[in-house]
Structure 1
Amino acid sequence: MSRLNVRLVWLLAGLLVTATCHAKAVSLAFLSGEEMQQTRTALQNHQAAPQTEQAWQQLKQAADRALKQPNPSVTQKGMLPPSGSRHDYLSLSAYWWPNPDKPNGLPWERRDGAVNPASKNDQSDGVRLARFTADVQALALAWYFSGETRYAAKAQSMIRSWFIDPATRMNPNLNYAQGVPGKAEGRHTGVLDGRYFATRIVDALQLLQDSPGWRQQDQAALQAWFSDYLDWLLHSQLAQGERDAPNNHGSWYAAQVAGIAWYLYQPQVIQQMVVLAQDKIAGQIRADGTQPLELARTRSFHYSYFNLQALTSLAQLSQRSGTGDLWHYHQQGGSLLSALDYMAPFSDSSKTWPWKNRDRVSLRLIPLLTLTDNSLNSDRYQRWIHRAIETQSTANTSPAARGAEREALRDVWLLSRPPTYR
């Protein structure tokens, strides 16, 4: 059987499985369909907690803003990728700057933690990808909670523009992600950019499958795109460098691949990523719960949290898919839970972080602690969750920090089982 025929067979099988699953309930990779269903019922019956109602209004505002935006595409960037095709994704590494000692500034030099504004504009695709995936997620969630078809229709239109339409679609690779002028056209660290395809888009696609206007050919085209992208993640030399990264990059590689494999009904690949994550946990986390590779960074709090965000996401997915128990995995050194135990007290912004650091948004830990307690049906972190929410600090004055705090609280009150107050 030809490769094309094989692909058609599994695509049709995948569509059949999808139809069967959705006759019962929507199954989500990183979000909790059960808990979201309870939240939706509470909102519809006007029985939701005030914090949940506020979180819903914030989400709705984000979705309303997305309704007014033109559909984004990788073809809209100002820079041309080395391939000559604007359909190839391109981004610049955030912590690299022109060399002041060179007339042409090349090659750029690294300044860890200092973000070069040139990496955060529409000349490349990094900001565009983050904005696109956040907007699609907000629209899909707004459709789920409200039932208003305008949200689903806009999300569908944006998805078709990014992944399907020949004139605007992205090629399924990250060959030119996080490039460094004068040094590399693309680097393995750029695979990190694609994490949003798993953590935001996969669940959005599941939520949209039953929405009016969603077509079987849309589903088939997306399955084909993600199949090609997964193949690139698993076999390209660039992506293999990310797989082997010992720090948060390796953790996010495993989480991204597992999420896309879940979407494509490939549990054997999820299992491989669980084994890979076990290696990352064993190599990254000390017995006291610290993460030395992340603590060595100039943004040590952010990266300690960021690595655990990847590992907890994958732990939840592996639990749901029956492919392993990362929550309690322990071989030598520390464990995922010991790392969370170490970080939990720092959700209290008044507790001093004892490591070199540029920035800190303590509330970002709360969704991770909530996810852990909900997944394990425990109250292990409830005291820290309650304390952090009840004593929110106004120390963060930057728009980015305030936005991160709002997003963290939204995730707690709207997208998961919220804390129960005494």
Structure 2
Amino acid sequence: NEVVAIRERVEDGQDPWKTAYDAQIRDANRALAATPRSVVDDGSPAGVDEHRFATGEDRPDYRAAIEMGTWVRDLGIGYVFTGRERFASKAIRLLDHWFLDPETRMYPSGRNFGETYFSIELHITLPTLIYGAALVRDSPRWSTVGADREALRSWVETYLDRKSGVYVGP
């Protein structure tokens, strides 16, 4: 297993492994203090549902997605390398906030400003969030945090179906 091999190098103090590991764990610890962001934080342009990813000149949803993706990825990597459930728990809470919580979630459709399309911003940001989710997928914290791993899987499937043209709806 690659993770085990890297852990052994870290425990032996081998560089660049030890230096990279220390930096990654610092990033994961910083992400523990992150305030969840979502598409509803900064309002939305007139006539656009606040749960839709909005693009525009100042791009607040894009910036929020980048921050959330970075935090979830860092927490996921921290979890994989340390097994510390606090990293998984925070990552899952952030994922729930962005994708699932009815108050703050982003809709998975590609409808934005009345047109059906998927912005380059989504193609840049969502993979990092989904990668982070994959890193914590086996954590038992999904049930204790109240997030639903299957609901997240369904969200991603809906997004991909709509992106591929299988279904384009509200």
Q: Shared fold (TM-score greater than 0.5)?
A: yes
1:92 maps onto 2:93 in alignment: no
Check 1:160–1:197 CA distance in 2 against 1; reply closer, same or farther (3 A cut). same
Deviation of 1:136 after TM superposition, in Å, equals 0.1
Deviation of 1:235 after TM superposition, in Å, equals 0.6
- Structure 1 residues not aligned, in runs of 5+: 1-33, 94-117, 177-183, 239-422
8 Å CA contact retained: 1:39, 1:48 = no
Deviation track 1:249-296 (CA, whole Å, cap 9, x = no partner) reads: xxxxxxxxxxxxxxxxxxxxxxxxxxxxxxxxxxxxxxxxxxxxxxxx
Determine the structure 1 residue equivalent to 2:164. Answer: 234
1:206 maps onto 2:134 in alignment: yes
Runs of 4+ in 1 over 4 A off after TM superposition: 184-189
Check 1:189–1:73 CA distance in 2 against 1; reply closer, same or farther (3 A cut). closer
Q: Which has the larger radius of gyration?
A: 1
Report the TM-score when normalising by structure 2.
0.83
1:21-420 map, 5 Å:
34-43=1-10, 46-80=11-45, 82-83=47-48, 85-92=49-56, 118-119=58-59, 124-176=60-112, 188=117, 190-198=119-127, 200-215=128-143, 218-235=148-165
Give the SS at the match of 2:55: strand
8 Å CA contact retained: 2:77, 2:132 = yes
RMSD over aligned Cα atoms: 2.7
Give the SS at the match of 1:75: coil
Check 1:41–1:214 CA distance in 2 against 1; reply closer, same or farther (3 A cut). farther
8 Å CA contact retained: 1:74, 1:87 = yes
- Structure 2 residues not aligned, in runs of 5+: none
- What fraction of aligned residue pairs are identical, expressed as a percent? 24
Report the TM-score when normalising by structure 1.
0.36
* Matched AA of 1:203: Y
8 Å CA contact retained: 1:92, 1:126 = no
Check 1:52–1:74 CA distance in 2 against 1; reply closer, same or farther (3 A cut). same
Query: How many matched pairs?
Result: 166
